[in-house]
């Protein structure tokens, strides 16, 4: 008797992770909070996108709550991409930090800083019979470019798409590079004396001025945004594909400066290995127990 094969639907969904030099960095996922990555100021990074599904998918990327393009990156089934640049300009992703006042008003203004969102759309499949809804996202159809991996040579079948309202429409991308520019400069003025009627207030000694400066500094926090970095060699060319109007999966992260990171016991428990043979070294060991190499 032959066994019947039952085909169950796949629950695999696309993934998006933050990587530096094409190596994933640790993501901190506290309960009830958005998953968070911590980056150094001025650090360039990649978004590692993987499509484990059997469908062609479109990934649309939003940084700092602003879409980086009218289109997105197209991945065929099983494809993985380390995207290091904006789609409309050949500049790498860079995390830039600056300091702001630690107030409720400022926190509201910077709440979108460092937000990363990747939305995934399935390719539109032909429909036969009945009625079919015309049009696609934003009233136009998706088309896009294939990413050329110059370092490996040849073409990698990943593509990026652009959306147009009609054949005569064109889009331009304008960006503002904040970098390390201070958004607010403050100074402390001192007076020899201040007279208010019969009350006289004298200036504080210099050593007390230092405590005032420390107090002002403690009231500031470091925040970071994704900006344009150095030139990228990744290239694209357009392809003609249509995608569904609604996302079927979304990945969201928060990028924060390392100054906001609170180390845990796991972070402090760093494993040490022998540089010669790779054997794990015990705590406090000065020599490898296997080959005798100095730690």
Domains of the chain, by residue range, sit at 15-185+204-262, 264-295
User: Is pLDDT at 255 greater than 70 in this prediction?
Assistant: yes
| Torsion sign across C-alpha atoms 222, 228, 230, 236 | positive
User: Is pLDDT at 50 greater than 90 in this prediction?
Assistant: yes
Q: What percent of the chain has pLDDT over 90?
A: 47
Q: Using CB atoms within 10 A of its CB, is residue 168 exposed (0-12), middle (13-18) or buried (19+)?
A: exposed
Pairing label, strands 23-24, 15-20:
antiparallel
Q: Using CB atoms within 10 A of its CB, is residue 221 exposed (0-12), middle (13-18) or buried (19+)?
A: middle
Task: Write down the pLDDT at residue 105.
Answer: 95
With a CB cutoff of 8 Å and minimum separation 6, the contacts of 240 are: 143
- 86 with 66: CB under 8 angstroms? no
- 175 with 228: CB under 8 angstroms? yes
Q: Looking up tokens 């940084």, which residue turns up?
A: 63
User: Quick one: average pLDDT of 158-177?
Assistant: 38
Task: Write down the pLDDT at residue 43.
Answer: 96
User: Quick one: average pLDDT of 237-252?
Assistant: 92
User: Is pLDDT at 58 greater than 50 in this prediction?
Assistant: yes
Pairing label, strands 249-257, 36-39:
parallel
Rounded CA separation 114/112 (Å): 6
Task: Write down the pLDDT at residue 188.
Answer: 36
User: Is pLDDT at 192 greater than 50 in this prediction?
Assistant: no
∠ CA(47), CA(70), CA(226), 5° rounding? 40
The DSSP element (H or E) to which 119 belongs, if any, is: strand 115-122
- pTM reported for the whole predicted model: 0.61
- What would the two tokens of residue 216 be? 């002002």
User: Who wins on pLDDT, 213 or 56?
Assistant: 56
User: Who wins on pLDDT, 45 or 181?
Assistant: 45
Task: Write down the pLDDT at residue 219.
Answer: 82
Most confident of 18-22, 134-138, 183-187, 285-289: 18-22
Q: Looking up tokens 């994704």, which residue turns up?
A: 226
User: Quick one: average pLDDT of 80-107?
Assistant: 96
Task: Write down the pLDDT at residue 289.
Answer: 75
Pairing label, strands 115-122, 220-231:
unpaired
User: Quick one: average pLDDT of 256-269?
Assistant: 73
H runs (alpha helix) in 121-273: 206-218, 265-268
Least reliable range by pLDDT among 34-38, 68-72, 121-125, 158-162: 158-162
DSSP count for the chain of H helices, then E strands = 3, 18
- 218-to-2, 92, 212, 295 alpha-carbon distances in Å: 74, 33, 10, 39
The DSSP element (H or E) to which 159 belongs, if any, is: strand 155-163
H runs (alpha helix) in the chain: 104-109, 206-218, 265-268
User: Quick one: average pLDDT of 5-14?
Assistant: 66
Task: Write down the pLDDT at residue 186.
Answer: 36
Model confidence band, residue 184 (pLDDT cutoffs 50, 70, 90): very low
User: Quick one: average pLDDT of 24-38?
Assistant: 91
- What would the two tokens of residue 215 be? 């107090």
* C-alpha radius of gyration, the chain, whole number: 26
pLDDT, averaged across the chain = 73
Task: Write down the pLDDT at residue 290.
Answer: 75
SS3 at position 205: coil
Report phi then psi at 123, rounded to 5. Answer: -65, 140
Least reliable range by pLDDT among 64-73, 155-164, 259-268: 155-164
Task: Write down the pLDDT at residue 271.
Answer: 56
- 141-to-88, 94, 245, 271 alpha-carbon distances in Å: 18, 30, 10, 51
Q: What percent of the chain has pLDDT over 70?
A: 58
Task: Write down the pLDDT at residue 32.
Answer: 81
Task: Write down the pLDDT at residue 33.
Answer: 85
Q: What is the pLDDT of residues 266-280, one digit of tens each?
A: 554 545 666 666 666
């Amino acid at each position: 008797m032959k066994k019947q094969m039952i085909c169950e639907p796949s629950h695999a969904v696309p993934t998006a992770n933050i990587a530096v030099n094409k190596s994933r960095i640790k993501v901190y996922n506290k309960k009830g909070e958005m998953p968070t990555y911590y980056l150094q100021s001025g650090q360039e990074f990649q978004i590692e996108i993987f499509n484990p599904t059997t469908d062609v998918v479109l990934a649309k990327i939003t940084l700092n709550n602003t879409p980086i393009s009218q289109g997105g990156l197209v991945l065929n089934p099983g494809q993985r991409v380390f995207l290091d640049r904006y789609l409309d300009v050949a500049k790498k992703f860079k995390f830039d930090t600056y300091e702001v006042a630690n107030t409720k008003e400022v926190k509201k203004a910077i709440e979108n800083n460092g937000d990363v969102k990747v939305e995934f759309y399935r390719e539109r499949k032909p429909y036969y019979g009945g009625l079919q809804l015309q049009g696609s996202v934003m009233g136009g159809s998706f088309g896009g470019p294939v990413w050329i991996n110059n370092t490996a040579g040849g073409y990698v079948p990943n593509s990026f798409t652009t959306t147009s309202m009609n054949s005569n429409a064109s889009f331009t991308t304008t960006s503002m590079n904040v970098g390390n520019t201070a958004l607010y400069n403050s100074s402390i003025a001192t007076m020899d004396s201040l007279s208010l009627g019969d009350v006289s207030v004298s200036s504080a000694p210099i050593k007390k001025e230092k405590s005032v400066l420390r107090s002002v500094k403690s009231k500031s926090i470091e925040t970071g945004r994704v900006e344009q970095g150095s030139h990228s060699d990744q290239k694209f060319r357009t392809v003609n594909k249509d995608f569904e109007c609604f996302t079927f999966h979304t990945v969201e992260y928060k990028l924060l400066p390392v100054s906001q990171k609170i180390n845990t016991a796991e972070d402090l428990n760093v494993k040490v290995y022998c540089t010669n043979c790779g054997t794990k070294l015990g705590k406090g060991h000065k020599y490898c127990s296997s080959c005798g190499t100095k730690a």
